[in-house]
Structure 1
Amino acid sequence: MTRHKNWFRQEPKDFTDKPLRNRKFSKRYLFDADFRELDLDGALFDEAMLEGARFDGSSLAQASIRNAHLAHAKFRNTDLTNADLSYDRDFPRKKNSCFYVDFSNSAMENTNFSRSPLTYARFERSILIHANFNRATLVAADLTSSNMQNADLRFTNLSRAKLVGCDLRGANLSFTNLTGANLENAIYDDTTIWRGTRYNQRTRWVDGKRQPPPLRHPS
């Protein structure tokens, strides 16, 4: 087993000045790899081990990062437009997760996070327009000041998440778990769907109060 671990550590970790567009990294062991400031559009990282990897300032538009292990990875100021970071329903999650991953200040319009385990993830000031978080787990995640217009948050677990100043106009929060979440100064209107949304006495609403909830949805 030790021999295998040492072999894994021999994977290249610095990809500076290498052509990486549409490159295949599926199932590679790339712990702490340095992918900063690179063109990775269309790259494939499905089921790759990317714990601690750094993608700051890179472009990953239309990249496929499905079922990947992204714990503690950094995607700050990254373009992930139309990227796929989803998890399959039957994929075993004992070894792979996206816990503590940092997506702050990134562009993620139309990005797919369906079923992703994103506990403690950071999305501050990110663009998440039309992003798909259907059935994702975002427990204690930080989405402060993010633009989530028309995002799909159906059945998403946002318990204890920070949604302070978040733009939720047009977002679908049907059956979303908001227990203990903080939505202070969040922006919403009649296009925001709250059908079946779960909350409790610890949920903090737009006006900073804990009760009553300002839930509205189109009839």
Structure 2
Amino acid sequence: MAEITREDLERRVKRRENLKDLDLSGLNLDDLPMEGAIFRKCKLTGTSFNYARMAFARFDNCLMNDCVMQRCNLQEASIRECDLSNSDIADSELTEINMSQTILNKTNLSGCFLNHSIFISSDLQLCNFSQSTLQGSNLNGAKMLVCDFTAVNAKNLTAQDADFTGSMFEGAHLDDSKMQKSRFNFCNLSVASFQECDLSESQISFSKLDYVNFSSANLNSVMMVKVTGLEANLTGAIMNGAKL
């Protein structure tokens, strides 16, 4: 149960107070202006943030599971070392958000604007990114297991040494991305576009590749065994040392 009311929280945010070690579970913070708010080690389980305005806000080491955050604005916010499991953030503005080292399990990020976001070393499982935009984002070292990236627009992505095992990329656009040493085993890459991507030393085994576009991609030393697929496009791809 929350230790303070919505009104108390709004006053503290307006005074630019740092909110630390507070239990804010279950509060209704819908539509609340919280630009630049700072939360440290707070418990926000089950809190509602629908349409909340939280650009430039900072959440450090917070428990944010089971939150409802649809259509909120978290542009250039920082959510570091938090747990956002089972939260619904669909259709939100998250451009340039920093989610480094954050845990997301069964989190809904479908339809979100995530351009130039940072997920370095984050741990994600069973998350939904379908129809989101991730252009120019940094996913280096992230674990994104069994996630849904259907129809994402993620051109110019940086995802070196990332693990996407078991994920769905059907119809995704990942052109011009740097994804060296990443793992796409047991994935569905059908109708996805990896045109001019650097996938050198990556693993793409036991995956479905129907109509995937690898044209002009760097596939040097790629491990691509026991894949299935119809009419994959490898025009101009470089495949020195690839294991097929």
d(CA) in 1 for partners of 2:175, 2:116 = 15
Question: Cα offset for 1:212?
Answer: 4.6
Instruction: Give CA-to-partner distance per residue, 1:24-59, whole Å, 9 cap, x none.
Output: 111011011111210001111111000111111100
Check conservation: 2:145, 2:166, Cα contact below 8 A: yes
Question: Cα offset for 1:106?
Answer: 0.5
Mapped pair 1:204 → 2:198? yes
Instruction: Give CA-to-partner distance per residue, 1:67-95, whole Å, 9 cap, x none.
Output: 111011110001101111111xxxxxxxx
Runs of 4+ in 1 over 6 A off after TM superposition: 7-10
* Closer, same or farther: CA 77–9 of 1 in aligned 2, 3 Å: closer
Check conservation: 2:201, 2:219, Cα contact below 8 A: no
Mapped pair 1:50 → 2:54? yes
Corresponding letter in the other structure for 2:118: R
Check conservation: 1:42, 1:60, Cα contact below 8 A: yes
Matches within 5 A, 1:160-175: 160-175=156-171
Matches within 5 A, 1:11-160: 11=14, 13-14=16-17, 15-87=19-91, 97-160=93-156
Give the alignment's Cα RMSD to 1 decimal: 2.4
Structure 2 unaligned runs (5+)?
1-9, 203-215, 231-244
Corresponding letter in the other structure for 1:199: F
* Closer, same or farther: CA 193–10 of 1 in aligned 2, 3 Å: closer
3-state SS of the aligned residue for 1:168? coil
- Of structures 1 and 2, the one with the larger relative CO (CA 8 A, separation 6+) is 1
Structure 1 unaligned runs (5+)?
1-6, 88-95
Mapped pair 1:193 → 2:197? no
d(CA) in 1 for partners of 2:64, 2:42 = 9
Normalised TM-score (structure 1): 0.85
Aligned mate of 1:179, from 175, 181, 188: 175
d(CA) in 2 for partners of 1:37, 1:9 = 16
* Aligned residues with identical type, % of pairs: 20
Check conservation: 1:194, 1:217, Cα contact below 8 A: no
* Closer, same or farther: CA 159–21 of 1 in aligned 2, 3 Å: same
d(CA) in 2 for partners of 1:167, 1:10 = 38
Corresponding letter in the other structure for 1:121: S
**Pairs aligned (count):** 203
Normalised TM-score (structure 2): 0.77
* Largest Rg, 1 or 2: 2
Question: Cα offset for 1:199?
Answer: 2.3
Check conservation: 1:130, 1:151, Cα contact below 8 A: yes
Question: Cα offset for 1:17?
Answer: 4.9
